[in-house]
Chain A
Amino acid sequence: MSEPTYDAAFFRAWLEGAAAAVDREADRLTELDSAIGDADHGANLKRGFAAVTATLEKEPPATPGAVLATAGRQLISTVGGASGPLYGTLLRRTGKALGEAPEVSRTALAEALTTAVAAVSQLGGAQLGDKTMLDALVPAAEALGTSFEAAREAAEAGALATVPLQARKGRASYLGERSIGHQDPGATSSALLIAALAEVAA
């Protein structure tokens, strides 16, 4: 029994769902970011994902890899801050790892996402437990090997688990111990992205 596969339309639907979620939660992301960062995370991601949606609508790429690579480049060009290069790299590298296949399986996506998460870790110099987006993405990529739903749960648990951590990267790290007790905005938006994936696969 072979695995089901997912085409470019599925990936476009995922990113449209992610854009809707970011739009809906933008104020909460900005609120979280104002506690330990500089209060722009929601607004920046909202701008970036709106641009992604517009680009994909104008010229829909033909393969899952191309959809993600295009979206990643768009985020790099529109988000700014650390989130632009980091989220841009996440999507671009996932797309690159998927290659030119017209349809991909969940297992292939899990492998591609794992590669991309490693690239994000290298770019930002962060590890698991530094109170960053990786705290949601690393467990999510691993759980995606099991199921979409497991990935969603792992990402949400990872985001919640950032609350007691002390930030060691990004702007929150300047706060030292005062960053403890706040949920990380990057891990929160990463959980939204993975939840949108589970949503569209359900």
Chain B
Amino acid sequence: MRMLINVPETVVADALRGIAAAHPDLNVDVENRVVVRRDAPVAGKVALVSGGGSGHEPLHAGFVGPGMLSAACPGEVFTSPVPDQMVRAAAAVDSGAGVLFVVKNYTGDVLNFEMAAELAEDEGVQIAKVLVDDDVAVTDSLYTAGRRGTGATLFVEKIAGAAAEEGAPLERVESIARRVNERARSFGVALSACTTPAKGSPTFDLPEGELELGIGIHGEPGRERRPMMTAREIADHTVDVVLEDLRPKGPVLALVNGMGATPLLELYGFNAEVQRALAERGVPVARTLVGNYVTSLDMAGCSVTLCEADEELLRLWDAPVQTAALRWGR
């Protein structure tokens, strides 16, 4: 497998150096692996800190900036960051108004953020946590680690980030974040596995002519394998499973997300099919975002996240944001 890297051991540090060079609005601590918006701490403002394994870029560092995250903690590839990173990030961004940890529901992330919350609170920082668990592919939560956090992370970070930017107090920012997560569902499909730098070969074997339904964002196999389908068929299937679980009563925000290696030409075509499928099922779409936002290294494939909107969520979605990967309205 050919990769644009030096050695597997330094991929995260190398990327952080590149982020620092490209985005002067960010303070990048390469050694301690913390990315902070340059103007932090912002007086009186609640801070948002997220983090997770690397390999999902632009999540999370690409979402640091006014209107979204205050700081991000990148871990090793597909590996949760360590508590030291979150504690350092929380200390760097807390203005005294408290910090919301945005945590994707994976055992590693949950455990490390829990430890970090305890340590940060010992240092006098007020911490609230929101768990993102939007992936409908994980059924039977009783016998699993529960639903995975995937595309809804973007909605949670954007909308709760806008609320914080407006000056909402910690409790309010937390409840908005929770509301977004409760109203959002995702489902993903892989057309190829992905290759981690450390392993150098695909994480699972997906023969030509087949696809994997219900994948996460870590190159783990999904729930079932089927013969290859058209964009139209994938859109119908995906929209059906998401709607079956979400049952929105009004318009939705739609994220049509690429897993990293699917060309935008295909993603836009897929979006057309997703919009058609939603229209046929009587679900109005208030806003759409198409692109590679919550990725899985070089995996080909896509995911769809729908979030049932209301007036307040739409207003916060439309509010200005200025990050490396999302920017509008400023």
Known: A38-B203, A38-B218. A174 touches B148 (CB 8 A): yes
CB of A82 within 8 A of CB of B148, answer no
Does A24 reach chain B (CB closer than 8 Å)? no
Does A108 reach chain B (CB closer than 8 Å)? no
In the complex, the chain A residue whose C-beta lies closest to that of B112 is A85
CB of A39 within 8 A of CB of B76, answer no
In the complex, the chain B residue whose C-beta lies closest to that of A37 is B220
Task: Spot the interface stretch: A97-105, A140-148, A164-172.
Answer: A164-172
Distance (whole angstroms) from the CB of A36 to the closest CB of chain B: 8
Task: Spot the interface stretch: B78-86, B264-272, B283-291.
Answer: B78-86
Would you give the 0/1 interface string for A113-147, flagging 1 where the beta carbon is closer than 8 Å to chain B?
Answer: 00000000001100000000000000000000000
Does B221 reach chain A (CB closer than 8 Å)? yes
Contact with B198, one of A30, A78, A168 (Cβ below 8 angstroms): A30
Distance (whole angstroms) from the CB of B90 to the closest CB of chain A: 16
In the complex, the chain A residue whose C-beta lies closest to that of B135 is A174
Residue numbers in B under 8 Å from A174 (CB-CB): 137-138, 144-145, 148, 216, 220, 223
Does B208 reach chain A (CB closer than 8 Å)? no
- Total residues of chain B contacting the partner, CB 8 A: 36
Contact with B144, one of A30, A77, A173 (Cβ below 8 angstroms): A173
Contact with B82, one of A39, A79, A170, A173 (Cβ below 8 angstroms): A79
Residue numbers in A under 8 Å from B148 (CB-CB): 174
Distance (whole angstroms) from the CB of A38 to the closest CB of chain B: 4
Which residues 20-68 in A have Cβ within 8 Å of B in the complex? 30, 34-40, 43-44, 47
Distance (whole angstroms) from the CB of A177 to the closest CB of chain B: 10
Contact with A34, one of B79, B144, B199 (Cβ below 8 angstroms): B199
Residue numbers in A under 8 Å from B112 (CB-CB): 80, 84-85
Known: A80-B79, A84-B112, A86-B111. A39 touches B199 (CB 8 A): yes
Which of A39, A76, A176: most chain B CB closer than 10 A? A39
Which of A34, A40, A43, A178: most chain B CB closer than 10 A? A40
Distance (whole angstroms) from the CB of B166 to the closest CB of chain A: 34
CB of B82 within 8 A of CB of A40, answer no
CB of B80 within 8 A of CB of A81, answer yes
CB of A43 within 8 A of CB of B145, answer no
- Complex formed: what's the CA distance from A44 to B75 in Å? 11
CB of B220 within 8 A of CB of A84, answer no
Does B66 reach chain A (CB closer than 8 Å)? no
CB of B203 within 8 A of CB of A80, answer no
CB of B145 within 8 A of CB of A171, answer yes
Does B108 reach chain A (CB closer than 8 Å)? yes
Does B77 reach chain A (CB closer than 8 Å)? yes
In the complex, the chain A residue whose C-beta lies closest to that of B84 is A77
In the complex, the chain B residue whose C-beta lies closest to that of A167 is B144
Does B275 reach chain A (CB closer than 8 Å)? no
Known: A30-B199, A76-B83, A78-B82. A85 touches B115 (CB 8 A): yes
Distance (whole angstroms) from the CB of A142 to the closest CB of chain B: 25
- Complex formed: what's the CA distance from A79 to B219 in Å? 20
CB of B107 within 8 A of CB of A169, answer yes
Contact with A43, one of B76, B139, B219 (Cβ below 8 angstroms): B76
CB of B199 within 8 A of CB of A82, answer no
In the complex, the chain A residue whose C-beta lies closest to that of B81 is A80
Which residues 260-306 in B have Cβ within 8 Å of A in the complex? none
CB of B80 within 8 A of CB of A80, answer yes
- Complex formed: what's the CA distance from A36 to B203 in Å? 9
Residue numbers in A under 8 Å from B77 (CB-CB): 40
CB of B82 within 8 A of CB of A77, answer yes
- Complex formed: what's the CA distance from A80 to B140 in Å? 27
Residue numbers in B under 8 Å from A168 (CB-CB): 143-144
Residue numbers in A under 8 Å from B144 (CB-CB): 168-169, 173-174, 176
- Complex formed: what's the CA distance from A92 to B106 in Å? 23
Does B196 reach chain A (CB closer than 8 Å)? yes
Residue numbers in B under 8 Å from A107 (CB-CB): none
Known: A38-B203, A83-B108. A77 touches B83 (CB 8 A): yes
Which of A34, A38, A168: most chain B CB closer than 10 A? A38
- Of the A-B pairs whose beta carbons lie under 8 Å apart in the complex, a sample of 14, sorted by A's number, is A34-B203, A36-B220, A39-B196, A43-B76, A80-B76, A81-B79, A82-B111, A84-B111, A85-B115, A174-B137, A174-B144, A176-B139, A176-B223, A178-B221
Q: Which 10 A-B pairs have the closest CB atoms?
A: A173-B144, A81-B108, A85-B111, A82-B108, A38-B218, A82-B107, A80-B79, A81-B79, A43-B198, A38-B78
Extra inter-chain contacts (14) besides given A168-B144, A175-B221, CB under 8 Å: A34-B219, A39-B219, A76-B83, A77-B82, A80-B108, A81-B79, A82-B111, A84-B108, A123-B111, A173-B145, A175-B220, A176-B139, A176-B140, A176-B223
- List residues of chain A with CB under 8 Å of any chain B CB: 30, 34-40, 43-44, 47, 76-86, 123-124, 166, 168-171, 173-176, 178
